[in-house]
Amino acid sequence: MASAAAGEVAIIGSGLIGQSWAMLFASGGFKVKLYDIGQQQVTNALEKIRKEMKFLEQSGSLKGSLGAEEQLSLISGCLNIQEAVEGAMHIQECVPENLELKKKIFAQLDQIVDDKVVLSSSTSCLLPSKVFAGLAHVKQCIVAHPVNPPYYVPLVELVPHPKTAPATVDRTYALMQKIGQSPVRVMKEIDGFVLNRLQYAVISEAWRLVEEGIVSPSDLDLVMSDGLGMRYAFIGPLETMHLNAEGMLSYCDRYSEGMQHVLKTFGPIPDFSRATVEKVNQAMCVKVPNDPEHLAARRQWRDECLLRLAKLKRQMQPQ
């Protein structure tokens, strides 16, 4: 069981991502204070966390060595930001993706924190140099960008401000590992960080292929889910190259010319024209009608798949 000495964490914003962080930190035995601006938000968040943890426990997928009740007893709601961060060694901000709001929150935290706590933002696309601009405690600031749903998808991109201390990155890296996440160090800030740059490259080519009538939207998705994606859950594109020939050098000798030939045929950034948006939307709605019930059911199915995949990945760890 965590003690104040083992570590306390404050979560600022108790929405979708704040709830996931709270569960992850509790699974690592950390005491968590979940702060939000209204009682209703905090009450809802605590209820959702309870329901989710019970479900995870019943399905044998609860993370960490503590039971659901023990983990739940580590999480408390809070409506006072000063109280929330008191004693915390890590503060994870999870308010909506709005630069002015995030800057306001960090300016507030800057006034009340000591020189030791790590100030971390969950932002998906705001650059650290913008979010943490002008803060006295900038050395302690970092972006820790999770992937939705963070409880099932462990990657966390760590992105420093140019003035972030290396010790802040190291501490956050170790903390992420401790709660079972997979941190990666993004050495320098860049728009989209790494994950979204890769994702947008894929979306971009997918869009061009559909727009040009090369492949249907549903077949395009199948190329990923029954093709590329099968191996990408276990090995990345670079290791794929390494394994698909006698090592990387041999792959590049054999295929770099062919790759360059294909890459030269890639088109411009899509403009996401209305006509193609409607075509893709129609195809998606055949598979998953876009009403709240169907979307929620499909998300639940996706999360169950991810949960089982996570189990498989644990079982398949190379010795």
Which is nearer to ligand NAI, 8 or 66 (by Cβ)? 8
From residue 32, give the alpha-carbon distance in Å to each of 6, 44, 112, 115, 173.
Answer: 12, 16, 18, 20, 18
What is the residue-wise DSSP string for 160-220?
A: E-TT--HHHHHHHHHHHHHTT-EEEE-SS--TTTTHHHHHHHHHHHHHHHHHTTSS-HHHH
143 part of the interface to ligand NAI, by CB under 6 A: no
Binder of ligand NAI out of 7, 18, 28, 77 (CB under 6 A): 18
Contact code string over 232-271 relative to ligand NAI, x by CB under 6 A = ----------------------------------------
Stretch that binds ligand NAI, among 140-148, 184-192, 219-227, 300-308 (CB under 6 A): 140-148
Burial of residue 212 (CB within 10 Å: 0-12, 13-18, 19+) is exposed
Is position 124 an interface residue for ligand NAI (rule: CB under 6 A)?
A: yes
Phi-psi domain of 48 (left: phi exceeds 0; alpha: psi -120 through 50; beta: other)? alpha
Q: Are 177 and 125 in contact (CB under 8 A)?
A: no
Residue 144 in contact with ligand NAI, rule: CB under 6 A = no
Minimum Å distance from CB 192 to ligand NAI?
Answer: 12
One of 1, 4, 6, 16 touching ligand NAI (CB under 6 A): 16
**Residue 43 Cβ, how far from ligand NAI at the closest point, in Å?**
11
Six-digit token string for 179:
């709660």
- Pick out residues in 86-105 that bind ligand NAI (CB under 6 A): 94-97, 105
Q: Which residues bind ligand NAI (CB under 6 A)?
A: 12-18, 35-37, 41, 94-97, 105, 122-124, 145-146, 148
